[in-house]
């Protein structure tokens, strides 16, 4: 068992955590969960972020000086009946059900999932499958974007799993009201650029991660984005349409804007920063043509019924054409090209796909997407399905509603 380490910079807490019927595992998404859960909750923070010294001392006395031992000790003290997490790709969360079988555990999908790995040993699903062979791993409920991704979790957990799967869509997407209709369409490119820290720049030759044991550098991984945004700029200019880059970072993180400014120096374009966790959703209107390589936000807009296109060439351009992880609709096995998606980044394909977005009528768009949306991204405005789950478990909640503005954190 991996021992606790890298704790020198962690904040310190000294009091034992209070008992709580509902525990949120990890800080991710806690602001959004508090929008719906109306009874007192506790938040388990990872020891690298906030180390509870009293819990650590108890873990030492119980000879459980490891990450799982620390988590076990924390749960024994708090005694939750229900544990909820947005960190659905955290292996340790699935240990909770094995350690405390009577506890109800709920994992909420918080991003697009595939075979990406941070080491050659394998990604989340491979490691989960391996762990299930040697220790009890499971969840009570796994809330998914759509039904397509179910098989990745199900295959990883194995035939002994008793997890129930609920397709509820993206909790965040469901919590934000749709925008008003725009008067004229725009080309909206969704940026998914990294945080631009040293060694992680889009042109870095450092290894970003692995697919099937194959290393992929930052420059290889982001090659598709760099190629696509230039083709979009040419198309938007030829069609006299506004081009908007929808940023992933807040305004004070200027490197993302500067990166696109260097590439698009010969074109007219606009950059919109992501200042809080709802602002990007509010920047897009129904008449816009939305473009992405494979980002979660694009799938969320597709679920809303917006006109979205996918240029799923990431791994092809990274030299891994045999890997399908980043293909549109993964893990569903869809053709390489469709009316609103393609695996090729070229001006001809940009023109073909965006002409369909711009000129198809509502019936044609509905016919092209209606069978895919529920598979890939459900849309449930106000999160009625999630609230129904909370009700079935006896968790006090507000019922379906949008995200209160005062609860939305800034980026």
* Residue 77 and residue 100 in contact, taking contact as beta carbons nearer than 8 Å: no
Q: Name the CA dihedral angle for 321, 325, 329, 335, rounded to a multiple of 10 degrees.
A: 20
| Residues paired with residue 69 on neighbouring β-strands, in sequence order | none
Judging by beta carbons within 10 Å of its beta carbon (0-12, 13-18, 19+), is residue 357 exposed, middle or buried? buried
| 225 closest CA partner among 182, 274, 198, 190 | 190
Instruction: Give how far Cα 261 sits from Cα of 171, 204, 241, 390, Å.
Output: 33, 18, 18, 46
Q: Are residues 72 and 210 part of one domain?
A: no
Q: In whole angstroms, give the CA distance from residue 306 to residue 301.
A: 6
Q: Are residues 155 and 265 part of one domain?
A: no
Q: What angle do CA 336, 110, 321 make, to 5 degrees?
A: 25
Locate 293 and state its tokens: 């390589």
- Give a yes or no: residue 195 inside a domain: yes
Q: In whole angstroms, give the CA distance from residue 326 to residue 125.
A: 15
Q: Are residues 149 and 213 part of one domain?
A: no
Q: Are residues 247 and 165 part of one domain?
A: no
* Residue 256 and residue 193 in contact, taking contact as beta carbons nearer than 8 Å: yes
Locate 409 and state its tokens: 């954190």
Judging by beta carbons within 10 Å of its beta carbon (0-12, 13-18, 19+), is residue 54 exposed, middle or buried? middle
- Give a yes or no: residue 1 inside a domain: no
Q: In whole angstroms, give the CA distance from residue 216 to residue 220.
A: 6
Q: In whole angstroms, give the CA distance from residue 334 to residue 123.
A: 23
Q: Are residues 155 and 49 part of one domain?
A: yes
Per-residue 3-state assignment (H helix, E strand, C coil) for 309-357:
EEECCHHHHCCCCCCCCCCCCCCCCCCCCCCCEECCCCHHHHHHHHHHH
Domain span holding position 143? 11-175+381-407
- Give a yes or no: residue 364 inside a domain: yes
Q: Are residues 210 and 92 part of one domain?
A: no
Q: How many CA atoms lie less than 13 Å away from 331 in the CB half-sphere?
A: 14
Q: Are residues 43 and 115 part of one domain?
A: yes
- Give a yes or no: residue 4 inside a domain: no
Q: What angle do CA 223, 314, 87 make, to 5 degrees?
A: 110
Q: Are residues 255 and 115 part of one domain?
A: no
Q: Are residues 243 and 95 part of one domain?
A: no
What are the E-state strand segments in 32-123?
A: 41-44, 50-52, 82-85, 104-108, 116-117
Q: Are residues 193 and 63 part of one domain?
A: no
Tens digits of pLDDT across the chain (411 residues): 345 556 666 788 888 999 999 999 999 999 999 999 999 999 999 998 889 999 999 998 877 778 899 999 999 999 999 999 999 999 999 999 999 999 999 999 999 999 999 999 999 999 999 999 999 999 999 999 999 999 999 999 999 999 999 999 999 999 999 876 666 899 999 998 877 777 788 889 999 999 999 999 999 999 999 999 999 999 999 999 999 999 998 888 899 999 999 999 999 999 999 999 999 999 998 889 999 999 999 999 999 999 999 999 999 999 999 999 999 999 999 999 999 999 999 999 999 999 999 999 999 999 999 999 999 999 999 999 999 999 999 999 999 999 998 889 988
DSSP letters spanning 202-213: TT--SEEEEETT
Domain count, the chain: 2
Question: Which residue bears the tokens 């393609």?
Answer: 342
* Residue 64 and residue 70 in contact, taking contact as beta carbons nearer than 8 Å: yes
Q: Are residues 156 and 16 part of one domain?
A: yes
| 229 closest CA partner among 122, 313, 149 | 313
Residue 1: per-residue pLDDT: 36
- Give a yes or no: residue 180 inside a domain: no
Instruction: Give how far Cα 242 sits from Cα of 149, 288, 351, Å.
Output: 35, 10, 15
Q: Are residues 394 and 362 part of one domain?
A: no
- Give a yes or no: residue 156 inside a domain: yes
What are the E-state strand segments in 109-194?
A: 116-117, 141-144, 164-167, 187-190
- Give a yes or no: residue 295 inside a domain: yes
Question: The CATH number of the domain where 324 resides is what?
Answer: 3.40.50
Locate 5 and state its tokens: 């380490």
- Where b means 16+ CB within 10 Å and e means fewer, 313-341 reads bbbbbbebeebbbbbbbbbbebeeebbbb
Phi-psi label, residue 112: left if phi above 0, alpha if psi -120 to 50, beta otherwise: beta
- Give a yes or no: residue 398 inside a domain: yes
């Amino acid at each position: 068992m991996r021992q606790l380490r890298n704790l020198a910079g962690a904040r310190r807490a000294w009091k034992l955590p209070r008992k709580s019927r509902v525990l949120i595992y990890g800080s991710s998404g806690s602001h959004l969960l508090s929008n719906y859960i109306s009874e007192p909750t506790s938040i388990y923070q990872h020891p690298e972020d906030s180390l509870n010294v009293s819990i650590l001392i108890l873990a030492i006395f119980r000879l459980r000086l490891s990450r799982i031992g620390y988590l076990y000790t924390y749960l024994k003290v708090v005694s939750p009946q229900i544990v909820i997490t947005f960190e659905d790709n955290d292996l340790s969360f699935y240990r909770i059900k094995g350690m405390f079988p009577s506890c109800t555990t709920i994992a909420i999908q918080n991003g697009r999932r595939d075979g990406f790995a941070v080491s050659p040993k394998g990604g989340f699903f491979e490691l989960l499958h391996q762990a299930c062979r040697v220790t009890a791993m499971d969840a009570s409920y796994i809330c998914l974007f759509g039904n397509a991704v179910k098989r990745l979790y199900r295959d990883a957990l194995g035939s002994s799993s008793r997890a129930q799967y609920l397709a509820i869509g993206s909790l965040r997407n469901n919590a934000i009201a749709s925008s008003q209709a725009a008067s004229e369409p725009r080309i909206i490119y969704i940026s998914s650029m990294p945080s631009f820290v040293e060694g992680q720049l889009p042109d870095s030759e450092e290894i970003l991660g692995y697919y099937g044991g194959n290393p992929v550098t930052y420059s290889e991984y982001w090659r598709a984005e760099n190629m696509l945004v230039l083709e979009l700029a040419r198309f938007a200019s030829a069609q006299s349409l506004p081009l908007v880059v929808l940023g992933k970072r807040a305004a004070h993180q200027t490197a993302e804007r500067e990166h696109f400014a260097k590439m698009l120096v010969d074109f007219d374009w606009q950059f919109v920063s992501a200042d809080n966790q709802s602002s990007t959703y509010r920047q897009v209107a129904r008449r816009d043509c939305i473009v992405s390589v494979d980002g979660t936000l694009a799938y969320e807009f597709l679920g809303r019924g917006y006109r979205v296109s996918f240029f799923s060439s990431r791994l092809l351009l990274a030299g891994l054409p045999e890997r399908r992880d980043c293909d549109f609709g993964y893990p569903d096995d869809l053709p390489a090209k469709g009316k609103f998606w393609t695996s090729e980044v070229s001006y001809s394909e940009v023109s073909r796909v965006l002409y369909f977005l711009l000129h198809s009528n509502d019936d044609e768009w509905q016919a092209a997407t209606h069978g895919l949306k529920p598979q890939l991204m459900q849309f449930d405005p106000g999160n009625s399905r999630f609230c129904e789950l909370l009700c079935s478990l006896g968790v006090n909640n507000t019922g379906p509603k949008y995200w209160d503005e005062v609860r939305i954190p800034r980026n």
